[in-house]
């Protein structure tokens, strides 16, 4: 692997956008950290106990991200990949503050 992989998140005009690979029907709800795909792109790896039916896993992921970033549940929504394991999540708020909080949670300075 050469070069530096892209970050699993980036600031937007209204907050941050995260790339997350979701595993439903897990034993616990948690974010496992940054993982890399074979194409070199990165994403956060997350697990939820909810089943992937009727949007339950997506709703659980939104709650998990809101808790992880200490923001209101209404600030987080799945904006892409609703029926895929790879999802795009929008977190509304101050982009600099959210980016700092994500870095802190991931311990990537």
Inter-residue contact 77 to 95 (CB < 8 Å): no
**Domains contained in the chain, CATH given:** 9-104 (3.30.1200.10)
Predicted pLDDT of residue 109? 41
Q: How far is residue 65 from each of residues 18, 56, 94, measured CA to CA in Å?
A: 10, 14, 16
> How big is the chain, counted in residues?
109
- Look at residue 76 in the predicted model and tell me its pLDDT: 98
pLDDT tens track for 5-36:
579 999 999 999 999 999 999 999 999 999 99
pTM, entire model? 0.91
Does pLDDT of 55 surpass 80? yes
């Amino acid at each position: 692997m050469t070069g530096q992989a892209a970050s699993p998140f980036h600031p937007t005009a209204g907050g941050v956008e995260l790339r997350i690979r979701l595993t439903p029907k897990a034993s616990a709800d948690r974010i496992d950290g940054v993982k890399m795909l074979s194409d070199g792109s990165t994403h956060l790896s997350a697990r939820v106990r909810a089943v992937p039916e009727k949007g339950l896993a997506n709703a659980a992921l939104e709650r998990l991200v809101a808790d992880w970033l200490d923001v209101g549940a209404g600030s987080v929504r799945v904006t892409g990949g609703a029926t895929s394991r790879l999802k795009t999540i929008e977190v509304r708020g101050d982009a600099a503050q959210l980016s700092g909080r994500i870095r802190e949670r991931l311990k990537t300075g």
